Structure 1
Amino acid sequence: MEYECAAADFSMEASMSDPIWALVLAEATRLGAGGAAFDRVSLIRAVQHRDPSKLDGSIGPIIQGMTRNAPGGLASPCGTPLERVGHGRYRMYSPGVVPAPPVTASPTNITPGPLAHTLVLVGCVKTKADDPLPARELYRSTLFTRRRDYAERHAGRWYILSAEHGLVSPETLLEPYDTALGDQSAEYRRAWATWVVAKLRQREGDLAARRIEIHAGEDYVAPLRQPLTDAGAQVSHPVAGLRQGEHLAWYSRHNPGISDSRRTAPPGTASDL
């Protein structure tokens, strides 16, 4: 299938001198030949094989913007030729194919685990990528990666707790920022917690009797306990009181089969606990 890009037809033989959107379109067309689905990581790696100078943080927002049923991202001259068909999976959009349903900002995971009816809130960390990325990819530490793995493996839905943005869906595109909740005033933390609970109610409805696990440092848990309890939620903090090494060990026990070799980020800092 050929797509019209700006005023001219675009050849699928993209080169290193082409803009990122052109490389994405060429590789997505190749990977999606015959209507095949492909994953985000394979598409990013294929673009980088053509042009190693293109970084994940630059490619990701372009993919997001080229996807017709995903929020955010950067617009391209080719519009939205991609369609998201699952968590991190895409195909080339074709008007003759039954469209995939719109992807909400907080998609249901492919295989919910034993906490399928539990909401998991994951704390952000200090170290972040240098470029805009979906929130689930922005934070760079082993601790955050293990929290994220746990949430994606076990819970039906999960959100990120950001000191700057409040409650954030994993696929929301964020710019890097430098705000730590522990550095803010008590008044800020109270207002932040009220904001988070309001956004959670807006997205999830009545929180009465809902089980909510918080995987974050005490700076994030403390202001949320009372307003969540007042809303009727059953709040737990499974890693309360654990030191950093104990945190990582806890997630290793609860994320069996996930190799440490994929975790190249720094371990995290004491302020993340």
Structure 2
Amino acid sequence: MVSNGSESHATASPAPLIGVTTYLEQAQTGVWDVRASFLPKVYLDAVTDAGAIALLLPPQPVTAQIARAVLAPLDGLIVTGGADVDPARYGQRSHERTTTPRTERDEWEAQLIRAARAMDLPLLGICRGMQLLNVTLGGTLVQHLPDRIGSDAYQPGAGQFGRATVTLEPDSALAVIFGNPEKGMAVPVYHHQAVDTVAGGLRVTAVTADGVIEAVECARMRFCIGVQWHPEENAEDRRIFAGLVRAARAYRTARHARNEEPAGHGA
């Protein structure tokens, strides 16, 4: 049995609803070969292990109003990993190693991020999700990290996770979640891009010894963390997902309290 701070499924109140973004891929099933919404199951396991319910959010035509409507019944949002963010979103041309843009996904998730920030909805960005959070708020990315650090350590091979040691800022939300390990914390990584210019409103809260930014936080929100590593890959440690679920419960409680206020209250 894993002991990592996750909350029990047997709770007095219903489990929080966590929206989890997905992506569109060509998929084969039976006799069919079609475009389909796709997400590795490890993300769903991470959410349910932490005591929440995962709802999948596939890319689709979106406006700010649609994004708000999608998030309205939810208690939290995870923006997941995947293909590279379109460099045009941060004013650059594509590097030769940057993958083909998934513009429909970029816009879908960017609108969800904006809506979540406006609603103060608990938000966790993972890998690409952290990068898109930074880009959406006005930051930029390093398009091919080996050009910067001279190593493929962060993406050693196709489908092969690397390991990196991150140092957490002692007064960060991540330090509270992970107990601020003095010697750093080893995490699974799989990325060839990284945050370059940090967007206004974000604070760097985890880095590696060679200076790669591995986490950012937005202090103005109740819970807004982006991690460059892949916590969903570590089934023995669900602490960051448990932190999101705690924030989601608090968000739902506060929302219900607002909805139950008598008409004219405070006038």
When normalised by structure 2's length, the TM-score is 0.31
Larger radius of gyration: 1
Higher strand share: 2
Higher helix share: 1
Report which structure shows greater RCO (CA 8 Å, sep ≥6): 2
When normalised by structure 1's length, the TM-score is 0.30
